[in-house]
Amino acid sequence: MNKIGFIGAGNMAGSIIGGMLNAGFSTDDIRASDPSATGQARQLGIKVITDNQALVKWADVIVLAVKPQIMQSVCSQISIQISQRHLILSIAAGIRSTSISNWLASDAACIRVMPNTPALLGLGMSGLYASPHTSEEQVKLATGIMETTGRVIQFNDEAMIDAVTAVSGSGPAYYFLLMEAMIKAGVQQGLPEDDARLLVTQTALGAATMAQQSNVDAQELRRRVTSPGGTTEQAIKTLLDGNFMQLVNHAIDAAARRSVELSDEMDKNAQ
């Protein structure tokens, strides 16, 4: 079994570790390093230390789960310990694999993953890109780790991770915003807030489940529940007249462009 070490033991690291343990990984094969040596990872029963270099010496797979703004300093700190036997798995947003390799001063295999917060519930969606130095076996290992938290799509072009960030990485917030608006609108219609919240969240869950399990696309599902001259048609018409589709497109494009900008800024620091 590969020994898997997490540098950073926050919520996302904790969700991945929890998923791995639920999938049958042993606590003996997982460790984490965190300055406070506390948090969710310790509660899951794995060993948590404060020495990043000691963790790298022990591990075969290094999961970089720290905030993007401290990634360079963390990579520089552990670079002397990194060797060809290591697989580097980064879940940091906005940092390209080339930057990580430069900071580590190594051509060790590097895989970049963009997860999202529903991974905390085992319902995550991750986009994965493997650098050229990565073997098929290493890609399979990284995919298996992330599949313990939900679904995974592999991309051959790292630029696609910016689109993944915009669509699914940031995506939960878009749905939360829509739910927030619908709950407020329901209250305006006279519903008690708790009832409006349940109506909206359960409807969102049902709609998402239908869309995922159906053999037709979202447009067709929408058509099937939109009766001519009915209430749904009036609501949909109002949204479309307000350029709803264009607004969503602009929002996701803005998120993708910001992801590219952040990556470019990090690349400059890596040179």
**The two three-digit tokens of residue 143, written as one number:** 């995919």
What is the average per-residue pLDDT within 95-110? 91
- According to the model, what pLDDT value does residue 36 have? 72
User: Which backbone phi and psi does 176 adopt, to 5 degrees?
Assistant: -60, -40
- What are the pLDDT digits (tens) for 15-32? 899 999 988 999 999 999
- What are the pLDDT digits (tens) for 229-271? 999 999 999 999 999 999 999 999 999 999 999 888 887 776 6
- According to the model, what pLDDT value does residue 128 have? 97
Closest CA to 150 of 198, 97, 212, 96: 212
- According to the model, what pLDDT value does residue 63 have? 96
Quickly state the pLDDT bin for 132 (edges 50, 70, 90).
Answer: confident
**The two three-digit tokens of residue 115, written as one number:** 């997860």
Asked if 92 and 263 count as a contact pair (C-beta separation under 8 A), the reply is no
**The two three-digit tokens of residue 126, written as one number:** 């991750």
Averaged pLDDT of the chain? 92
CA–CA dist 69, 146 (Å, integer): 23
CA–CA dist 142, 58 (Å, integer): 18
What domains appear along the chain, each with residue ranges and CATH number? Answer: 4-164 (3.40.50.720), 171-254 (1.10.3730.10)
- According to the model, what pLDDT value does residue 41 have? 64
- According to the model, what pLDDT value does residue 39 have? 58
Q: Look at 268 and 5; give whichever has higher pLDDT.
A: 5
CA–CA dist 165, 215 (Å, integer): 26
By CB atoms closer than 10 A (0-12, 13-18, 19+), residue 267 is middle
pLDDT(38) > 80: no
CA–CA dist 56, 94 (Å, integer): 23
What is the average per-residue pLDDT within 103-122? 91
Helix (H) or strand (E) holding 117: none
Beta-bridged to residue 127, according to DSSP, are: 114, 153
- What are the pLDDT digits (tens) for 138-165? 999 999 999 999 999 999 999 999 999 9
Identity of the highest mean pLDDT range in 23-37, 99-113, 190-204: 190-204
